[in-house]
Structure 1
């Protein structure tokens, strides 16, 4: 069971855009430049996994599921700034997580974790 976000989707998109633009690597995106239009909604965990397992995304491409957002920090790479609600707390490479069959469990733990747990990386 996920903890409900205190924000609606439109608010989150604005917050995530600001967080991404403050990130050193993401603000280097120029083709295209990073903004909230680069954040694509995934309605299911399967959609999110299929999106994140691809490695040809441009710098600044992002995907979100519920109150989690992942923004690519390396052009064509697998290094995702991880944001929950209004805070960034981690950089995750998903290829090995997905290969090991641990993707769904990781996302469920992230959704359940408190802000303090996320910031301490105890999820």
Structure 2
């Protein structure tokens, strides 16, 4: 599990977020005030709602691996929230932030997947990249591949057309051959942008704007990047055409060549 002390990399959520999560918990029979546990035992201690926010995925992993969390304890990471719904157990009510509030879409039992760090981080990145609609359809995981990429979430900043500096989100994956895939927000543009780059010598191989489905764009990168590392540009263009036919996440114009989940 590593040696990171998650306490040093988490902080209590602000009041507004705390109140929003408490309100959402009232829709869950286990988590609401006077819920199922308290209906069975009216003398049971009324546990508080306690939520923290993780600054990175390592802190999230460390928190979830701590174990023996009380019911109504939760953690927020980017646009995801995980709230313990079994006292002292391992069943996390999983929420996705949507424009009009939080959407509940899954219950995760993390168990052994926490020991498989790359698999855990890929699952979390998949949930981050998925749209709220994909989460509600339970279609929120990157496809399984023989050589899955290691997608890293990065908080960045950009300059809006108004000149204002605004926070942005980006997901980056690199290959050992010196190629990089990026799916990221850019102020003033709708949706996400997707790029495939060569780092040495630097070259932009593929660029796409207006991406509606970041998860689909990441899946496209996973098909294109192996071809980018192959000799010759034809393999890259062929891979783009082939992958595009399997993905509706991108426009057609290119700018350049409640069940429980556990270790899905």
TM-score by length of 2: 0.40
Counterpart in 2 of 1:98?
Answer: 114
Q: CA deviation at 1:115?
A: 1.1
- Match runs of 1:22-101 below 5 Å: 22-27=27-32, 28=35, 31-35=45-49, 38-85=50-97, 86-101=102-117
CA distance in 1, matches of 2:46, 2:75: 15
Structure 2 SS opposite 1:23: coil
Which structure 1 residue ranges, 5 or more long, are not aligned? 1-8
Structure 1 pair 31–50 and aligned structure 2 pair: CA distance change class (3 A): farther
Which whole-Å CA distance do the structure 2 matches of 1:88 and 1:11 have between them? 18
| 1:32 to partner: Cα distance | 4.9
Find 1:120's aligned residue among 137, 148, 157. 137
SS state at 2:26 partner: helix
Shift of 1:31: 4.3
**Cα distance between partner residues in 2 of 1:88 and 1:41:** 18
Aligned to 2:21: 16
Output the CA distance in 1 between the equivalents of 2:113 and 2:45: 28
Distance in structure 1 (CA, Å) of the matches to 2:91 and 2:72: 11
CA distance in 1, matches of 2:68, 2:87: 7
Cα distance in 2, alignment partners of residues 34 and 114 from structure 1: 31
1:89 to partner: Cα distance: 0.5
Largest Rg, 1 or 2: 2
* C-alpha RMSD of matched pairs (Å): 1.9
TM-score (norm 1): 0.81
**Residue range with higher mean Cα deviation, 93-102 or 26-35:** 26-35
Cα drift, residue 67 of structure 1:
1.4
Q: Which structure is higher in strand share? A: 2
Contact 1:21 1:34 (C-alpha < 8 Å) held by counterparts: no
Given the superposition, is the C-alpha separation of residues 42 and 93 from structure 1 closer, same or farther in structure 2, using an over 3 Å criterion?
A: same
